A = this chain, B = another copy of it.
């Protein structure tokens, strides 16, 4: 398809731009390892992440008003620590561990690909992470965003249409001038339903070698790419 009308690219971040699974496992192993704990760190990361969707669902369904992801992450962390029988952490240690989400490592192609894309397009986040989380991660991992959009600006969690549409509106664009980029089929379907263009970026090891979902694009998207540099190439960057 032609890319002449695309003005901005917005990105899912957890999984699409950064590798939360090994980043969280590594951070947890360092921070909890110092305290003498020896866990299955990848499992720890996966269980923490497993509580992410159910926590946001409380907000999506209106059972709870919007609360930023940092707070949901902390609530989920307390549950995961209990499950792993980890106790005795100070509030500063808990806070630091929770902020591991602010220090996630990019996939190897993310920074170079985003820098190429930024030369031609506005690039922004369209993540469920809150603004501070996104900004701190960008500073930590050299992610060159032009703008932070997503859950906190919209006070809603993807795939709530409000999330995508607030971002589009704040950019002063029409939905079909914005390309939603994600490694998750459902995220793209939800964006597509609101009129955004869509790009699948394959991250088939996001959940490790036994990943069963989102191995590949399962629907008709405008672009289907193997990584961020492949997408940059397809978009003429």
Q: A70-B172, A130-B172 are in contact. Are A135 and B153 (CB under 8 A)?
A: no
- Most B CB contacts (10 A, CB to CB) among A124, A136, A147 go to A147
Task: Please tell me the size bucket of the interface on A.
Answer: 20 to 34
Contact of A132 among B136, B148, B152, B170 (CB under 8 A): B170
Give A188 to B22 CA distance when docked, in angstroms: 44
Are B122 and A139 in contact, CB atoms less than 8 angstroms apart? yes
Query: Contacts of A135 on B, CB cut-off 8 Å?
Result: 122, 124, 146-147, 171
- Does A72 sit within 8 A of B, measured CB to CB? no
Give A132 to B177 CA distance when docked, in angstroms: 13
- Most B CB contacts (10 A, CB to CB) among A70, A122, A135, A171 go to A135
Copies per complex of this chain: 2
- Does A131 sit within 8 A of B, measured CB to CB? yes
- Does A138 sit within 8 A of B, measured CB to CB? yes
Give A192 to B45 CA distance when docked, in angstroms: 41
Q: A147-B148, A148-B147 are in contact. Are A132 and B70 (CB under 8 A)?
A: no
CB<8 Å pairs between A and B, sample of 24: A70-B172, A122-B135, A122-B136, A122-B139, A124-B135, A130-B170, A130-B172, A131-B171, A131-B172, A132-B170, A132-B171, A132-B172, A132-B173, A133-B172, A135-B146, A135-B147, A136-B172, A138-B146, A139-B146, A145-B146, A147-B147, A147-B148, A152-B170, A153-B153
10 smallest CB-CB distances across A and B, nearest first, come from A132-B172, A131-B170, A135-B147, A132-B171, A147-B148, A135-B146, A122-B135, A152-B170, A153-B153, A138-B146
Chain A residues within CB distance 8 Å of chain B: 70, 122, 124, 130-133, 135-136, 138-139, 145-148, 152-153, 170-173
